[in-house]
Amino acid sequence: MIPTIQSKLPNVGTTIFTEMSVLAQQHHAINLGQGFPDFLMDRAITDLVNEAMQQGHNQYVHMNGLPALRQGLAEKVKDLYNTDIHFNDEITITPGGTYAIYTAFTTILQKGDEVIVFEPAYDSYIPNIEINGGVAVPISLTYPDYSINWQLVKEKINAKTRAIIINSPHNPSGALLTEEDLKALCEIVRGTGIFIISDEVYEHLVFDDKKHLSVLKYPELYERSFVCFSFGKTYHCTGWKMGYCIAPPALMQEFRKVHQFNCFTCNSPVQFALAAYIKNKTAYEGLGKFLQVKRDFFAEAMKATRFKPLPSYGSYFQLYSYDGISDENEKALAVRLIKEYGVATIPVSAFYKSPVENKVLRFCFAKKEETLAEAANRLINVQ
């Protein structure tokens, strides 16, 4: 008899990103769906990786991550958020931001624990919760500004609530949490046993002179938080799958127990390269402006189409509404745009457990200007 698997994720299929990217390839479409840059990363970093490999840095480094890289990150956090983080006790290098989030859930969740998730949500969150025995409690962000209704959050909290996951800058909407949001969160979790998982992978991708508000700036939040980051977003190397988690010592100690027997330690030469490159502040300080130019370039080109932009203040995504263009649901239109017009996007309905249809598609503008111009040009005649 061949063994059969009783699926731990019976409701999960292929992710929408893979589905759309495969379709985009088949139809030679411009891929503004999946979030990755189509331009080269800084050659200085790849040179540093080569150098590290040639110098023999090819064996396991410390399971928590290369100390020099963690030290560099602690200095960066102090500089950006004025928070003292101890590199030995509070930072672990991980193979990507998603892994950091997954590990945080594995660390804290027991069977039946509830986690509040704001939707539309990055698609790994709910499966990450469910595979760890937790129950996701989705709350829709308000449309069209994608803000949090904190009264609704209060109503959903009960004795089983174990965590709240937040994401700012937000994928897919480009919305940012405000000072008021973080204050509301402080009030809600004060005196409870609720953890916070804060997905801040787009921390540097913030536009229009707005500021990223990290939970690291709020001691009352940080004391119960796992804060997750990704080098992929900061240095235009999503394929490297490198990130890190910051959490207070007692939380990090448990996080590392899970990490130790799953990944143990991450790619060494890349860590040597990042440790050297992290000192280069301009690489991340200029990132918001760099992407803002792309957002605005694409928005200008899209004026020739009938799609209408919703505001994007961060991340490298912008939602465009097709209200008045078509009555199709979001996925149907996204598929048709690939097949008939050669442009791939992501339907925002895919970011909900039970699809919500607002006639919006997500476009990634982290692309060369010629790519963005050609995509907008192909969308001019959409009807």
What residues make contact with ligand PMP under the rule CB under 6 A? 35, 96-98, 122, 167, 171, 199, 201, 230, 232, 238, 241, 243
Residue 348: CB partners within 8 Å, gap ≥ 6? 120, 172, 173, 319, 330, 358, 360, 361, 362
Longest C-alpha distance within the chain, in Å? 63
- Residue with Cβ nearer ligand PMP (92 or 305): 92
Q: How far is the CB of 191 from ligand PMP (least distance, A)?
A: 29
Q: How far is the CB of 95 from ligand PMP (least distance, A)?
A: 8
227/224 Cα distance (integer angstroms): 10
Q: How far is the CB of 383 from ligand PMP (least distance, A)?
A: 31
Q: How far is the CB of 17 from ligand PMP (least distance, A)?
A: 8
Report which residue type is found at 383.
Q
State how far the alpha carbon of 93 is from the alpha carbons of 62, 282, 344, in Å. Answer: 10, 22, 33
- Residue with Cβ nearer ligand PMP (305 or 312): 312
**Both tokens assigned to 317:** 């995504």
174/103 Cα distance (integer angstroms): 25
**Both tokens assigned to 129:** 């919760």
- Residue with Cβ nearer ligand PMP (122 or 320): 122
228/206 Cα distance (integer angstroms): 17
- Residue with Cβ nearer ligand PMP (101 or 189): 101
203/229 Cα distance (integer angstroms): 8
Q: How far is the CB of 23 from ligand PMP (least distance, A)?
A: 18
In 10 A of CB 337, how many CB atoms?
27
Instruction: Give the residue at shortest CB distance from ligand PMP.
Output: 96
Measured in degrees and rounded to the nearest 5, phi and psi for residue 135 equal -125, 120
Q: How far is the CB of 168 from ligand PMP (least distance, A)?
A: 9
363/310 Cα distance (integer angstroms): 11
State how far the alpha carbon of 138 is from the alpha carbons of 94, 167, 287, 313, in Å. Answer: 27, 14, 32, 23
- Residue with Cβ nearer ligand PMP (128 or 268): 128
Q: How far is the CB of 112 from ligand PMP (least distance, A)?
A: 25
Q: How far is the CB of 150 from ligand PMP (least distance, A)?
A: 21
- Residue with Cβ nearer ligand PMP (45 or 301): 45
- Residue with Cβ nearer ligand PMP (238 or 318): 238
- Residue with Cβ nearer ligand PMP (103 or 238): 238
Residue 299: CB partners within 8 Å, gap ≥ 6? 309, 318
